[in-house]
Amino acid sequence: MKKILHYLRSYALESILGPVFKLLEATFELLIPLVVKSIVDVGIKNGDKRYIAAMAGLMVLLGVIGLSCTLAAQYFAAKASVGSVSLMRRSLFERIQSFDYTTLDELGASTMVTRMTSDMNQVETGVNLTLRLLLRSPFVVIGAAVMAFTIDARAASVFVVTIPILSVVVFGIMLVTLPLYKKVQGSLDRVLLAARENLSGVRVLRAFGREADEIERFDSRSDELVGMQKFVGRISAMLNPITYVIINAAAVALVYIGAVRVDAGVIETGAVIALYNYMSQILVELIKFANLIINITKSVACANRIAAIIDMPPEAAGADRDFDKNAEYAVEFDGVGLRYKNGGADAISDISFKARPGDVIGIIGGTGSGKTSLVNLIPAFYKPTRGRVRVLGVDTADADVGELRRRIAIVPQGQTLFSGTIRDNVMWGVDGADGDNDKRIEDAIEAAQGVDIVRAKEHGLDEHIGRGGVNLSGGQRQRIAIARALAKNADILILDDSASALDFATDAALREALRTLDPMPTLFIVSQRTGSIRHADNIIVLDGGVCVGMGTHEELLSSCAVYREIDEAQKGGSI
């Protein structure tokens, strides 16, 4: 709740004007029954058509003014709710961008998407309704009761009995349904998660022919949601019949008492009609208020879930340390170990090596041996749980992560391209904009062996790429991703199994092009192929997160059984 108020401060004026105009509209609404009373007791009773016309005109005027106030209230409430939630959404997005990999792994993509979409929409609806109705409904209920007593205190005693009974029914049903609505929201999250998993993994599903199983799983979660919604709906559906029974019973009592009072000459007929109108207003407002409380509760719950993520600490920025491009070693690992959060064992253990500027370091090992975990420590995506990692003379635990990553270009295992043109995607690796950008892009694409991709496209560099590069093959996506990294001209270049979809000839041409880069970055190549790293200055062989061999290709063939086994298996064609 505090988080909502924090963002509403930027729209303080709108947050005040919205309720004020709504209260003005409610005031004019409370005057309508008095005008009706005058028409009946004066105009109709005396047959005064001019008076009736004048009062009818007054009713129209009150209606027009009330409508104007309603529109103004809606405008200010919408501006405040949309604006404040936009600020909250921006803060959430910025905070997500600031999380380290450990936090992102812990939260999960589905959680963050749900917070950014459905939870935000619920908060926006709740803020809008709160600004318009939180003060209006109690104001009308109390105002109608007060106005009834100004007409006739004895007849208005019906209100004293009816309002508490209605309140007990309305808010009793509300209290029963509130926790159930929270369960409905949780069930909805599970349905959204299933839908998201199916959409993102549709190719895998079809490849394995599991569409029917996934449809059954989705139907199961949907049925769970529908069943819960029906159960809550049945309880909520009791609200209208019970309240209408109570209100009609009160109306009968009101008409009876009013008729007796009219017959005794204490009040006029119009007073009974006015009292009945006030009774109807109270019923409507109590039901509105109950629904409002349900919406507010759901919105506060969603806001708390959003706030829980916004309040999570961002990735530590580190100190502003000067990186030394002329340092003796570009990268140093000193007894480094890494265990992921809640991990049962170390992903890598006791890794030590040094890489000079311009060195080519190969990293190889079986699946799950810790290759990606090792290179992820260089740009400080994860912090080592033991030992030290130094980049250009600076310990990554103390470094400014922004400055550190500006000196590193990485092509991860899962190449992600963004919707836009080829030029847009490669430009991600170019800082700023100058006249040499096109040349940098072309040089990067040429080095990444992607010239044929550009030439084959009708619009060349301006060819549109779909989200995730869906209109490119796996090898084309890899080469564009490599070009993006090369365009950065970074001091350290990491290729994390980024040539797996390339044929041997293209892979060889890429490696040859990388060796001619000027200036030559310190290059880390993670690969499953010994042929891709055989010319590296130093090769690190991992097995179960432990370095089991280190040296050149020839040295490892004679000294490392794991490396020799991988090389022989590939030469034999079994890999």
Tell me the whole-structure pTM to 2 decimals.
Answer: 0.72
Q: Which residue has the tokens 């019949």?
A: 241
pLDDT of residue 502: 80
Of 99-103, 509-513, 533-537, 553-557, minimum mean pLDDT range: 99-103
Neighbours of 44 (CB within 10 A): 15
Q: Report the Cα 300 to chain-centroid distance in Å.
A: 16
* Between 162 and 378, the higher pLDDT residue: 378
Span 502-515, average pLDDT: 86
CATH 3.40.190.10 fits 328-407+496-511+519-575, yes or no: no
What are the residue ranges spanned by the domains of the chain?
Answer: 84-310, 328-407+496-511+519-575, 413-489
Candidate CATH numbers 3.40.50.300, 3.40.50.2300, 3.50.50.60, 1.10.10.10; the one for domain 413-489: 3.40.50.300
pLDDT for 575 beyond 50 = no
Place of tokens 């709108």: 14
Q: What is the pLDDT of residues 267-280, one digit of tens each?
A: 888 888 888 888 88
413-489 has the same fold as 328-407+496-511+519-575: yes
User: Tens digit of pLDDT for each residue in 251-305?
Assistant: 888 888 888 888 888 888 888 888 888 888 887 887 788 778 778 877 887 888 8
b/e per residue 270-304 (b: at least 16 CB within 10 A): bbbbbbbbbbebbbebbbbbbbbbbbbbbbbbbbe
Confidence at residue 269, expressed as pLDDT on a 0 to 100 scale: 84
For the domain made up of 84-310, give the CATH fold.
ABC transporter transmembrane region fold (1.20.1560)
First-to-last alpha carbon distance for the chain, in angstroms, is 57
Is the distance from CB of 415 to CB of 478 less than 8 angstroms? yes
CA 335 to chain centre: 38
Paired strand residues for 493: 409, 523
| Cβ proximity of 271 and 315 under 8 Å | no
Strands 360-365, 538-543: pairing is parallel
Which residues, other chains included, contact 269 with Cβ-Cβ below 8 Å and sequence gap of 6+? Answer: 40, 41, 45, 262
Share the mean pLDDT of the chain.
85
pLDDT tens digits along 12-71: 999 999 999 999 999 998 998 888 888 888 888 888 889 899 999 999 999 999 999 999
CA atoms within 13 A on the CB side of 125: 17
What b/e readout covers 542-561, taking b as 16+ CB neighbours within 10 angstroms? Answer: bbbbebbbbbebeebbeebe
